[in-house]
Structure 1
Amino acid sequence: MLRHLVKLSLLALLACSTPPPAIPSPAATTPSAIEQPSPERAGDQPHLKVEVRGPGQVLIEYSGGQLVRSLTPLTFPNPPATELEGDSPYLDQEVASGVTYQYSLVDGEQVLDSSLARVPPKKLPPLHHPRLVVDKVNYTLSVYDRDERVKRYPFVMGGKPRQRKLCRDNASTPEGIYTIYNLQPQATFYRAYDIDYPNPIDRFRYTFAQRHLELGDPGIGGEIQIHGCGLNGNWTAGCMALRDADMDELFAQPALAAGTRVWIVGREMTMADLEGLSQEHDPEVVRRLQTSLGLKPDGQMGQATREALGLYQHKQGWPVTCQLDQRSLNRLLKQ
């Protein structure tokens, strides 16, 4: 459903040169670009009721359409929005702090009903051993201290938010395990954390796509950041943009320094995939994988093994990760 609503934003195809103009707040916006229910249908309007239940929880009662959560009105080109799947009443526990969300019922390209939910703010406590988890599906950046999630922030991306970055396209965002390698207190987009894309697996996927997927030579891209300048739609060139006040709060944490791990999860590499990648270092698991792929089982996850794994994934019509993701693990190690 949502792909019918998502329109290509010309702004997102440009390099990150200027932040987007501010848009009207959801409360003041009339979705004029999307067909609204006619007065004749007032008697059979779908039902949508939204209630904030506390920090990080919104309860939605609904019927008669696909439920969608968004950071901006759905009329904005390429809205930062998520389809929510579940029976009513639906308890949404994947929301960030201090955000006004717009919940909508949609049918194809028609908005049937919408309602706003203001999630209360929450202070970020002092951090000691932080790591960041970026959820591209839910548009949240979670801050963990050791294994405890202490706060979630909203963010937006570029013109291809569902796609895992493979090459320079000024639109897609990476997925995988990364590290902050530099901090910019004064950056082009307010403040910025520099992320080490491309990492070795990104480089391998790029050359694999050149050899086997007719990629050509667009360049692998780079300069991926977590930066400021706001949530006005998916406007970046593939970076993750937060509100300036949220960047201030993060930069006030001395422990959020170079060397901090950043996990970026999406539709291609899920949290379960990233958590399971440690098995690539288990010689017995790798030997079983190599045997399934018809390779000599030496227990080393080298380039030949990644190449064979990528070819297998491509043959299956799966995302070509060249990594031991859960789909590949479950299929190949059960053979």
Structure 2
Amino acid sequence: MKKYFFLVIMAPLFLFANTASLSKSQEIKADLVTVVKSERKMYLSHRGKVLKTYKIALGGNPVGHKKVQGDQRTPEGYYKLDYLKENSSFYKALHVSYPNARDCCNARKMGKSPGGSIMIHGQPNNESGWFKSFLKQRTDWTAGCIAMYNSDMDEVLKLVQVGTTIHIKP
């Protein structure tokens, strides 16, 4: 009788514990965004565990670190996603904190501007049929940003908060 009584009491507690852990997992936010340029992939992770992976497009000249404005490169290194750009030419955009002090110094040595306005963003607003066919033919099309499908951008904004670190690798 005691064993039966114990199981009846423990079963509801066990079910409650599982339900609580499921609801907590739905609240997990990425603590790191990693872009691997050579793979054309972006990874969202939390405490070292990958939560989501996305296919991305980069700048038209993607190999190497962004040095100056207009070089069509996506920067490399550690930055922050420092604000959500509400008024973008693209479907939703998160700003990457490029350029940092070193980027500015290096560009200044060349007598140029480092550029800026590097974003993770969706597709262009008001895209037309020509753009969809363009995307099928060309992988990298941005001026140095990290682009993705609009539906993917919606997911990213649910999982990534302003202030999250982004690590952009070659």
The unaligned stretches of length 5 or more in structure 1 are: 1-123, 267-335
Q: Deviations over 1:80-108 (max 9, x none)?
A: xxxxxxxxxxxxxxxxxxxxxxxxxxxxx
Say whether the 8 Å CA contact 2:43–2:54 is kept in structure 1.
Answer: yes
Relative to structure 1, the CA distance from residue 186 to residue 203 in structure 2 (aligned partners, 3 Å threshold; closer, same or farther) is closer
TM-score (norm 2): 0.72
Q: Deviations over 1:109-150 (max 9, x none)?
A: xxxxxxxxxxxxxxx954235210010010000000121111
SS at 2:120 equivalent: strand
Partner of 1:251: 157
Q: Deviations over 1:168-202 (max 9, x none)?
A: 12511100000011013552110100011001221
Q: Deviations over 1:204-257 (max 9, x none)?
A: 3223xx2xxxx3x3311000000001892211100000100000111223xx22
Relative to structure 1, the CA distance from residue 145 to residue 220 in structure 2 (aligned partners, 3 Å threshold; closer, same or farther) is same
Measured in 2, the distance between the counterparts of 1:128 and 1:229 equals 23
Partner of 2:14: none
Write the letter of the residue equivalent to 1:131.
L
Q: Which among 145, 150, 157 is matched to residue 239 of structure 1?
A: 145
RMSD: 2.1
Relative to structure 1, the CA distance from residue 149 to residue 251 in structure 2 (aligned partners, 3 Å threshold; closer, same or farther) is same
Query: What is the percentage of aligned positions where both structures have the same residue?
Result: 31
Write the letter of the residue equivalent to 1:246.
D
1:198 maps onto 2:92 in alignment: no
SS at 1:171 equivalent: coil
1:173 maps onto 2:67 in alignment: no
Q: Hey, which of these two has a bigger chunk of strand by percent?
A: 1
Partner of 2:165: 261
Q: Hey, which of these two has a bigger chunk of helix by percent?
A: 2
Q: Which among 105, 117, 125 is matched to residue 223 of structure 1?
A: 117
SS at 1:164 equivalent: coil
Partner of 2:31: 130
Write the letter of the residue equivalent to 1:153.
Y
Write the letter of the residue equivalent to 2:45.
Y
SS at 2:68 equivalent: coil
Partner of 1:188: 89
Measured in 2, the distance between the counterparts of 1:243 and 1:203 equals 31
Relative to structure 1, the CA distance from residue 263 to residue 221 in structure 2 (aligned partners, 3 Å threshold; closer, same or farther) is same
Compare relative contact order (CA 8 Å, sep 6+) and give the higher one, 1 or 2.
2
Partner of 1:154: 55
SS at 1:189 equivalent: coil
TM-score (norm 1): 0.38
Write the letter of the residue equivalent to 2:68.
C
How far apart are 1:152 and its partner, in Å? Answer: 0.8
Q: Deviations over 1:1-21 (max 9, x none)?
A: xxxxxxxxxxxxxxxxxxxxx
Measured in 1, the distance between the counterparts of 2:155 and 2:121 equals 12
